[in-house]
Structure 1
Amino acid sequence: MAESDKKFFLLLFFVSFAVIVPTLHAHIASFDDYWKQRAEEAQKAAQEAYNPNPEEITNDLNSHVNKALMGTNSTRRNLRKHNGPCTATNPIDRCWRCKPNWAKNRKKLADCVLGFGHKTVGGKNGPFYVVTDSSDNDLANPKPGTLRHAVVQNGPLWIIFARSMVIRLSEELIITSHKTIDARGANVRIAHGAGLTLQFVKNVIIHNLHIHDIVAGNGGLIIDSANHIGFRTRSDGDGISIFGSSNIWIDHVSMSNCGDGLVDAIMGSTAITISNCHFTHHNEVMLFGASDSYAGDAIMQITVAFNHFGRGLVQRMPRCRWGFIHVVNNDYTHWLMYAIGGSSHPTIISQGNRFIAPPDQFAKEVTKRDYAPEDVWRAWTWRSEGDLMMNGAFFVQSGSRLTRNPFSRAQMIKSRPGTFVKRLTRFSGTLSCRPGRPC
């Protein structure tokens, strides 16, 4: 991208931010000096995280996938439960999963992220915090040892869990910058209460959580940092809400049945990777960009990689506005309406995914474009490269190829990329990890 184009996008972001400021108060009843400063810092961080040449990131990810598959000649789908030795099948997992000392070197995980969120290190540079208490009774002065107490502490923290637990959040969990929530070694469920909120923050890793049966919160006085308590309005019921935030990595999370979306990324959020997750039993799965009128989402860059979109899903895997979305090597085994959709001319690059269409003859199309006639959307860049279409699935392409096509045949695995998807996503969702053994 030319320097003039970069300046244009940044100008567009700032103008949109200024125009839309009154609506940036989502769920913040009192947008006081603390939240104004947090919004300004988040805006600056998003600007710094934005990559004016997103093709460099997609190229890097494809190169890692190719290296992970080199030497692999078995493409037969294995339907049996895996009980053998550790088999990490994609480049993110190969970075850490088969090492038996993972529990003694937990922070190695922060070196493994790829895609647009590749600079995310979470709480790597901070101490460990052990969650010992599953309660969430005091929203303004949370008890030490609880997850709510952990996520609002100042500075980087690597948060782990003393044991398996179910955490029912009384209201949305407002997470501050430079945090890792690492549930490896325990079965940790965020369930039957409110969800996770990443608002005006940067540098957060969420790993190996079950998040399900999330409901909208009523709001109220909620701690949002170690030094501030704010009044919140009603939350939406998202599993994970990313709002005006950057450098976010969501990995090996299992999600289902939330009151609104499973994962929403809106209001200028960017530099995000969503990988190795398992999504089931939900209607509107992922929303990237909440408004056709908010041009600030032009800086949005998100990688969706190695995930399994499974049973009981309807639509939005994802639904995109503006931005640049790289959807690579995911397994789409179920949908009822469509898989990938959008409006407001997002760039969507779909590579090496497997799409298995539903029996419904009227739901075979992978793609869905909203609020634009064909003579408008045919200029949008939606490209399918090396995808495997099954059971009548079809992807309606539009726009031209990227002007600088960075994808070689080796990087794209153009021969039979779809046949590798089951291997790449075989261990999606939460992992059963035991100290002293590979995950």
Structure 2
Amino acid sequence: MMKITSFYNLFSALLPLFCLLSTAVVSSSSSVPDPELVVQEVHRKLNESIARRNLGFFSCRTGNPIDDCWRCDPEWEKNRQRLADCAIGFGKNAIGGRDGKLYVVTDPSDSDPVNPKPGTLRYAVIQDEPLWIIFNRDMTIQLKEELMMNSFKTIDGRGASVHIAGGPCITIQYVTNVIIHGVHIHDCKQGGNAMVRDSPRHYGWRTVSDGDGVSIFGGSHVWVDHCSLSNCNDGLIDAIRGSTAITISNNHMTHHNKVMLLGHSDTYAQDKNMQVTIAFNHFGEGLVQRMPRCRHGYFHVVNNDYTHWEMYAIGGSAAPTINSQANRFLAPNIAFSKEVTKHEDAPENEWKNWNWRSEGDLFLNGAFFRASGKDVSSSYSKASSLSAQPSSRVGDITTTAGALNCKKGSSC
């Protein structure tokens, strides 16, 4: 009920603003509001909503609103499901298994993707009821086939060192309300041409998968937080085919080529409604491109630390709106790779109309952002999900990005 109330309050607060904006479009030019003021007002209302929702939070004073919501609680292990109320951004309403039982994974095996054993991770994620999934010890889970998530599930690795690695990895396909938190996801391989179960009542034939770390396919209300991802066959996190309401936050990504694809193809118009928040992540050593690569939708890239790329950091095609705010970009020592951005698959006379902007970003070692578009306020309001901290604070905000080493009985 808390999530529903928060959304209702936010909608009620923003409705007059959007009505004002729509009226301005058809009125005389003298009555059109300043685009920057419109977007700032959206930020203010969003933050008011977050503040109301997180009254009584455990402030660590890090400037990272997600971490400040839960990490200073010495009894986090007894209050695990409270994490679901700490989400921000477009995926803030992802509750995962908050309203369900705790399920403890005791068996790291994955011998039968059609008839998984109780105690395994696969058995937990396919169930119909909400579940908050935790682990009784450190373990490495080498999946035999894709892990097909069902709705209203949380995978919570806090308190153990949990690696999903060496086989196919996580697929969130046509389901909703999924949280992935605190796990290591790496060395993911292709799977498929096999039967795989996705619910207690259904299993079916899976064709060859891409080998993503996390594949979001037609999924919504998804939050991937404090995970460490590297070295997968295709993307580390990909969201395609009408996926939306996604937050990717506090992750540490390393040693990978095509990091993050958001949008299926230039011709797949259903992705025009996609909204993704990318916040407080550290894009680190050994990365090449796509941090992210966007198509069609609305993308808020805020307070991330970019310390490595070889080709480019942020790119896209098919006229996405990209709102880059208060990130830190450290360019590589490669003369032709100083540009943060890459407008793909279109001539300049086309991409110059795409709405890409940089606001408050910090550029180091010659990095630069090639802005484009007309600074349309309605477009950027749809690509605004939280207020940015100053870029000078990005180092502090992202210093603990990735899976955390949480110990029971003390703050994490």
TM-score relative to the length of structure 1: 0.80
Instruction: Work out whether 1:306 is the aligned partner of 2:280.
Output: yes
Match for 2:391 among 411, 418, 425?
418
SS of the residue corresponding to residue 268 of structure 1 reads coil
Length, aligned pairs only: 371
Residue 74 (structure 1) aligns with:
none
**Structure-2 separation of matches of 1:59 and 1:310:** 31
Match for 1:429 among 380, 402, 408?
402
**Structure-2 separation of matches of 1:343 and 1:384:** 17
* Superposition deviation, residue 373 in structure 1: 1.0
Match for 2:214 among 231, 240, 255?
240
Check the 8 A contact 1:178/1:204 in 2, yes or no: yes
- Residues 21-420 of structure 1: matches in 2 within 5 Å? 88-403=62-377, 411-412=387-388, 417-420=390-393
TM-score relative to the length of structure 2: 0.85
Q: Structure 1 residues 412, 272: closer, same or farther in 2, change over 3 A?
A: closer
**Structure-1 separation of matches of 2:140 and 2:260:** 24
SS of the residue corresponding to residue 224 of structure 1 reads strand
Per-residue Cα deviation, 1:280-309 (whole angstroms, up to 9, x for no partner): 000000000120000000010000000000
* Superposition deviation, residue 338 in structure 1: 0.1
Q: Structure 1 residues 310, 150: closer, same or farther in 2, change over 3 A?
A: same
**Structure-2 separation of matches of 1:426 and 1:62:** 23
Check the 8 A contact 1:57/1:115 in 2, yes or no: no
Check the 8 A contact 1:300/1:324 in 2, yes or no: yes
Per-residue Cα deviation, 1:6-25 (whole angstroms, up to 9, x for no partner): xxxxxxxxxxxxxxxxxxxx
SS of the residue corresponding to residue 419 of structure 1 reads helix
**Structure-2 separation of matches of 1:119 and 1:65:** 11
SS of the residue corresponding to residue 83 of structure 2 reads helix
Structure 1: gaps of 5 or more residues: 6-52, 68-84
Per-residue Cα deviation, 1:11-53 (whole angstroms, up to 9, x for no partner): xxxxxxxxxxxxxxxxxxxxxxxxxxxxxxxxxxxxxxxxxx9
**Structure-1 separation of matches of 2:258 and 2:185:** 15
RMSD: 2.6
Check the 8 A contact 2:216/2:243 in 1, yes or no: yes
Per-residue Cα deviation, 1:406-435 (whole angstroms, up to 9, x for no partner): 799x9555xxx2211001101100000011
**Structure-1 separation of matches of 2:368 and 2:175:** 38
**Structure-2 separation of matches of 1:288 and 1:55:** 25
Check the 8 A contact 2:327/2:362 in 1, yes or no: yes
The structure showing larger relative contact order (alpha-carbon pairs under 8 Å, at least 6 residues apart) is 1
Letter matched to residue 107 of structure 1: Q
Structure 2: gaps of 5 or more residues: 1-17, 23-37, 53-58
The percentage of aligned residue pairs carrying the same residue is: 58
**Structure-2 separation of matches of 1:375 and 1:228:** 49
**Structure-1 separation of matches of 2:20 and 2:220:** 22
Letter matched to residue 64 of structure 2: N
